[in-house]
A and B are shown apart, each in its own frame.
Chain A
Amino acid sequence: MKSLLTGLWVALATSSAAFADDMKLAVTTSFQNSGLADVLLPAIKEDTGIDVQLLVVGTGQALRLSEAGDVDAILVHSRTAEEAFVAAGYGTHRREIMYNDFVFIGPDTDPADIKAADTASVALAKIADAKSPFVSRGDDSGTHKAELKLWAAADLTPAGNWYRKVGAGMGATLNIASGMPAYVISDRASWLNFGNKDGLALLFAGDPVLFNQYAFLPVNPAKHPHVKADLAQTLEDWLTSGTAKALIDGYEINGETLFTFNAE
């Protein structure tokens, strides 16, 4: 009995072998929920030997984790916050990798009739006028920041019973919107890969202000000497390479392209 237990213990202890070349990358929920991570990570492992360990968090938390030096690099989408991050010396630089766009999701009956809107501001004004339920991420993520910017651009201050801040990730927020049902702003990739679309539909997209740029920021080794700056550099080189371009541009769900590569 004892030897059996010891054997089991050894099997358990060795079940997670350590890799020599591993680095931690904090990414936004959209990168993971879109399924792109499952395509890129094995290719990165094969080409560079780097085992990228993903921490899937909102942009706000990703920035906090890298300020504390708990990750080696981040891949996020909130330009203003990123530039402040580099200016404060936490990151060495900001490298644009790819983009997609934000889309308006809502009940397929479209009670506020935003399908008829021609700009994002008009769509938001219609929702606010109709006081249709609207779910906000409310978690200081890149999508949340983009949403707040859109409200500000429309000269509106959303408040009241219809505006619901849930403080959750993109997937959880879409689940809540599906249950209510309510309007919500999502990045296109998360929406396309979302599995619980009951009662929801893509209602508005295409306004240039809905552009959503993703950028790669390595943590500054001058602030945190332990970060794996060389691995982060290798990863950046790979992410901006032709291989990455082919994989990112070629990633489709139901015939729709999710991301467009635009690194220089």
Chain B
Amino acid sequence: MSDLWEGIGQALWLLVTLDADLVEITLRSLRVTLTALVIACAIALPIGAFLAVRRFRARRFTIALLNALMGLPPVVVGLIVYVLLSRSGPFGVMGLIFTPTAMIIAQVVIIVPLISSIAHQALRELWSDYHDLLISLNTTQRQRMAALLWDGRRALLTAALAGFGRAIGEVGAIMIVGGNIDHHTRVLTTAIALETGKGDFAMALGLGFVLILLAIAVNLAIHIIGRTEQEGRW
């Protein structure tokens, strides 16, 4: 219990003094996860919209597969990405292993199924409302997907935030593909694992509280930028 109070004290101290290492790994956490989030959204949101508007043979199977992959164990993703990017792997010549790029790739793989599943659920409801209208307007499939994505943007924000939450708190995959190298691939979660290994629980908890604060701050910022939850809007 005393560790908990020490951890809160440690977190406050790190924040008040703007500890240089803390700022560095926090910015790296943000950079890796936000980049992964942007890429994952660019892939996952069109998939979600496509699954909502288009009926095809393997649709049910695809949806079930995406739902199942939501629970993909990050450590398995990490291993697979490691084997692919390793110098003796098929993409080894690119030299991406133990770089932030490798961490971004792993996080994209982890969150694409999550974002596309949630996006599909949200857009399916919307599609049942829009179906008759969009069909009668003789829209193309691309226009239908665009209409759904735009009008469903607030629900899609939730999907994106869920993806952000999963990615920023992830440690198993990025530990394997990033290697937790100081000043290079160390992020908040891998630093927490390292401090725990040293038996410095107060520091580990302090970093943990910083991570929680960061997640709250990013969510709030996105809501403020998107002007959701304000009067006169939904």
Q: Which residues of A contact B (CB under 8 A)?
A: 1, 11-13, 15-16, 22, 24, 29, 32-33, 41, 51, 53-56, 67-70, 169-172, 174-175, 178, 193-197, 224, 226
Contacts and interface: CB of A to CB of B under 8 A. Distances in A.
B98 A24 contact: yes
A171 B30 CA distance: 27
B24 A172 contact: no
B86 A70 contact: yes
Contacts of B196: 171-172, 175
B30 A12 contact: yes
B199 A24 contact: no
Interface in B63-98: 86-89, 92, 95, 97-98
Interface in B18-72: 24, 27-28, 30-31, 34
Give the interface SS of chain B, mostly helix, strand, loop or mixed. Answer: loop
Contact of B31 (A15, A56, A194, A197): A15
B27 A33 contact: no
Given A171-B196, A224-B87, A70 B24 contact: no
Contacts of B30: 12
B200 A195 contact: yes
Interface stretch (B143-151, B157-165, B178-186): B178-186
B95 A56 contact: no
Interface string B171-193: 00000000111111000000000
A232 B25 CA distance: 27
A195 B198 contact: yes
Contacts, number: 81
B169 to A, nearest CB: 19
B199 A69 contact: no
Residue of B183, B200, B225 with most partner-chain A CB within 10 A = B183
Contact of B184 (A16, A69, A172, A224): A16
A63 to B, nearest CB: 14
Given A12-B27, A55-B98, A171-B199, A1 B225 contact: yes
A224 B88 CA distance: 9
Nearest to A195: B199
A12 B33 CA distance: 11
B88 A15 contact: no
A153 to B, nearest CB: 28
Contacts of B88: 67-69
Contact of A12 (B31, B98, B180, B198): B31
B31 A55 contact: no
Given A11-B27, A193-B198, A224-B87, 7 more contacts: A22-B184, A24-B98, A54-B182, A55-B180, A70-B97, A171-B196, A194-B198
A53 B98 CA distance: 10
A68 B24 CA distance: 30
B209 interface: no
13 contacts: A15-B24, A53-B179, A53-B182, A55-B98, A55-B181, A56-B180, A56-B194, A68-B86, A69-B88, A170-B197, A171-B199, A172-B196, A195-B198
B113 interface: no
A224 B28 CA distance: 30
B53 to A, nearest CB: 31
B100 interface: yes
Contact of B98 (A33, A70, A172): A70
Contacts of B179: 24, 53, 55
A16 B183 contact: yes
Contacts of B28: 15-16
Contact of B87 (A12, A32, A69, A174): A69
Contacts of A195: 198-201
A184 to B, nearest CB: 13
Contacts of A70: 86-87, 97-98
A128 to B, nearest CB: 27
A54 B86 contact: no
Contact of A226 (B34, B87, B89): B87
B199 A196 contact: yes
A197 B30 CA distance: 34
Contacts of A226: 87, 95
